[in-house]
Amino acid sequence: MSDSTVEIQNSNVKLSYGTKFSYGLGDFASNISWGLVSSYLLYFYTDVFGLSAAVIGTLMLTARVWDAINDPIMGLIAERTKTRWGRFRPYILWGSIFLCIFNVLTFTVPDLQGNAKIAYAFVTYIMLGTIYTVVNLPYGALASVMTRDADERVSLNSFRGFFSLISSVVTGGAMIPLVKALGHGNDAKGFSSAALVLSAIALPIFFLVFFKCKEVITPPKHEKPSLRESLDAVITNKPFLLAITNLFFVFTGLFGRLGPVVYYYIYNMHRPDLIGPLMGLFGLSTALGAIIVAFLAKRFEKIYVSIFGMIISGLGLIAIFLTPATNIPMIVALTIISSIPLGFGTPIIFSIVGDCIDYHQLKTGKRADGAIYSVMSLVTKISMTLIGVLSVTALAAIGYVANQAQTPEAIKGINIVVNLVPGIFYLLSTIPFFFYKLKREETRRIAAELQKISKENEGR
């Protein structure tokens, strides 16, 4: 093991509730953009913007090819950045302005036709994803350098998970009413105006994160990790590889439902009036789970809490699949049951990633926050794209026709895509954690070792 370590300033200090609250609000702002894309972009592109399933699939695949280049580059840039504000905070400050601008442009229908209109969609969507990476990757990495205390990381990410899911309530519950209220019957105008309103809420929150959340774990001035060392932090880090496998399955299931669930409410349930309430109920239930998990993780191994939660969520969605779409009370009850434990996932996975970064640092003496979070960002987008492409392909295969009454085959297919497939992915997500060995006592030992090494280095 190398003697090299990071310079630490009160790295095990307890974070104030004000700091945790401010950091958590950052994911509220970030997920205004991400929530709009994951929940409404597919519907917006097919039924408002007017793109075909083939064009949407090509667009998403193109964006992910770019992400495969952009995300790792951004991670490497961020962890090598040195400013008086730290490595990650400057990107949150300046990038958020452009994120809000492209958030609005992506949900705007331009006065263009044919290839020009398609090109507009490609440019705005790919730019939105790029700038989202510039902001959200440093934001995620910020948590790993605010404290080394394992319980504080769970608590910090519990705030993050809570506000992320509250954002789902806002975007899920308020988006369609805003579209109708601001569009006055013109959905194209309504989507653009609603995106503008929500982006105006997000921007000052990003500024609050910048001013309130400090980086207390910083690399030594002489440390300049090579590209190979950054890559090794990912490919040789077994706990992290298991964690991102879990993340892939969870997010594939999550995005697999969020995008096309609007179709289920409209065409299976015949209740478009319930889109807002049910999307809001999903967000509130998962937010409740994000609160509960902070208490559960202090009493039980967080890995086991995650496994238990995903089993319940997976079985809950499969139960919805088997429930007649006309049985509204049962669907509401099962939505709550399946959504609360889903809220365990985000706080646990992000706290685990912090542990994986410390684990690699103790083994090698190198800290690779940016490289590891860039892989997380890329895996998140890959899972979103995979399910997005599969969803639009499935919709085309089952004979879905926008704004028309659907055939019985299409109705059945929508139910499979929205409920059965995500439920199976949630169950599959538990498998990697049965092999995960970085438990509570081990993470505490690692933190203590790193703190000891740091003090020894300071004394030399």
Domain hosting 179: range is 13-216+227-458
Q: Rounded distance, CA 352 to CA 54, Å? A: 38
Instruction: Name the 3-class secondary structure at 217.
Output: strand
**Amino acid at position 192, single letter:** S
Contact 249, 440 (CB under 8 A): no
Q: How far apart are CA 61 and CA 448, in angstroms?
A: 44
Residue 105 confidence (pLDDT): 95
Tell whether 181 is covered by a domain.
Answer: yes
Radius of gyration of the chain (CA): 22
**Could you tell me the pTM of the whole model?**
0.69
Residue 1, domain member (yes or no):
no
pLDDT at position 141, please?
A: 82
What six digits make up the tokens of 324?
């007649």
Question: Does residue 345 lie in a domain region?
Answer: yes
d(CA 391, CA 136): 25
- The CATH number covering residue 127 comes to 1.20.1250.20
Residue 8 lies in a domain: no
Specify the pLDDT at position 310. 95
* Token pair in block for residue 113: 């036709």
Residue 342 CA to residue 175 CA, distance in Å, equals 22
pLDDT value of residue 340: 92
User: Which pLDDT score, from 0 to 100, does residue 12 have?
Assistant: 55
| 235 located within any domain | yes
Mean pLDDT for back-to-back runs of 10 residues, the chain (460 residues): 42 75 90 79 88 85 82 80 86 93 94 92 94 89 79 78 75 80 90 91 93 78 62 80 90 82 88 83 84 83 91 96 94 94 83 83 77 77 72 76 79 90 94 89 82 65
Residue 288 neighbours by CB under 8 Å, 6+ apart: 340, 343
Question: Is there a domain that residue 222 lies in?
Answer: no
In a domain, 150, yes or no: yes
Alpha helices in 236-274 (DSSP H): 238-258, 261-263
356 in a domain, yes or no? Answer: yes
For the chain, the domain total comes to: 1
Burial class (CB in 10 A: 0-12, 13-18, 19+), 20: buried
